Amino acid sequence: MEEQSKKPELPELKLIAARLKEIRKTKGYTNYEHIAFDLGMSRSAYWRLESGANFELKTLIHICRILDVTLEDFFRGIYLPDSKKES
């Protein structure tokens, strides 16, 4: 039986995941296992973040602090689609 309560995927989550991976590599973390250790996370938990899983803002803030990146810099280039306004 298929699960009917499956939440719709947000394309922005994939963009955030890609940005996270890009910044991690730029900051010298050649693989996700090292940053997972520095963050005090399991490798699988961090891997889910780079795979597009939804996560809490406090996790993102902690990651940005470890990587020495502002939230503004992190989100640079990630845009939300225009909201549709009904008349």
- Cβ proximity of 54 and 19 under 8 Å: no
For residue 85, the one-letter residue type is K
pTM for the full predicted model: 0.78
**Phi, psi angle pair for 44, to nearest 5°:** -70, -35
CATH number listed for the domain at residues 11-75: 1.10.260.40
Domain boundaries, the chain: 11-75
Q: Percent helix, strand and coil across the chain, each rounded to 5? A: 55, 0, 45
- Cβ proximity of 18 and 24 under 8 Å: no
Question: Tokens for 22?
Answer: 């890009």
pLDDT tens, N- to C-terminus, the chain (87 residues): 455 556 657 888 999 999 999 999 999 999 999 999 999 999 999 999 999 999 999 999 999 999 999 999 999 988 877 655 544
